[in-house]
Amino acid sequence: MFSFHPVKHIACGEGGMVTTNSKKIYEKLMLLRTHGISKKNIKGDHGAWYYEMQNLGFNYRLTDIQATLGITQLAKNPNGIIRRNEIAENYKRAFEGLVKYQSLPEGILNAYHLFVIEVDNRKGLYNHLRSRGIYAQIHYIPVHTLQYYKEIGYHAADLSNAENYYNRCISLPMFPSLTEEEQNYTINEVKYYLNK
């Protein structure tokens, strides 16, 4: 499954895509995305207009306008990934030995949806960056701590690694149009705060 939410590499405004190599799942998906309506397997003698509602589905159709945007975004994606990797390299060079960041084994391509660092005083850093006009984000709030999931039984989940990580993580600006100047500004503000 792919999300086309605005923050993603390929953005269509909203919506997403499911891919499958299973005919069975494909047919089920085709039904679900359009109210469970189909013209296949119609019983009885009806006209050509006739359709059946064979299942309860929803309107999950991406609009043509969104799809057009998505096609141009798809074409831009390879360059976007190259640019994101350059940005990540700059962050790593700046933070090496000072700040913890994620690293992958040699030879593995990271598409860098996010660039996350871990710090002791996460909230303090978040507020400092905001006060300097840098909108860092937190990804993500552990699902089992959210109201709905607590109520359906996850309140007792012992996921202390997720909670410890959540208390330390902060995502720095990461998008292809981020300029070198903007990035350096962010790096300097992070270092300034952590050295205080």
List contacts with ligand PLP (CB under 6 A): 3, 5, 7-8, 16
CB of 72 to ligand PLP, least distance (A): 19
Q: Cβ-count burial of 40 within 10 angstroms (0-12 exposed, 13-18 middle, 19+ buried)? A: exposed
With respect to ligand PLP, which residue has the nearer C-beta, 13 or 133?
Answer: 13
CB of 5 to ligand PLP, least distance (A): 4
With respect to ligand PLP, which residue has the nearer C-beta, 3 or 73?
Answer: 3
With respect to ligand PLP, which residue has the nearer C-beta, 26 or 140?
Answer: 140
Sign of CA dihedral 100, 116, 195, 160: negative
With respect to ligand PLP, which residue has the nearer C-beta, 3 or 90?
Answer: 3
From 124, 101, 114, select the one nearest 172 (Cα to Cα): 114
CB of 107 to ligand PLP, least distance (A): 26
With respect to ligand PLP, which residue has the nearer C-beta, 16 or 142?
Answer: 16
With respect to ligand PLP, which residue has the nearer C-beta, 5 or 40?
Answer: 5
From 131, 104, 100, select the one nearest 193 (Cα to Cα): 131
CB of 96 to ligand PLP, least distance (A): 26
CB of 195 to ligand PLP, least distance (A): 29
Residue 104 to residue 127: CA distance in whole angstroms: 29
Residue 188 to residue 182: CA distance in whole angstroms: 10
CB of 169 to ligand PLP, least distance (A): 13
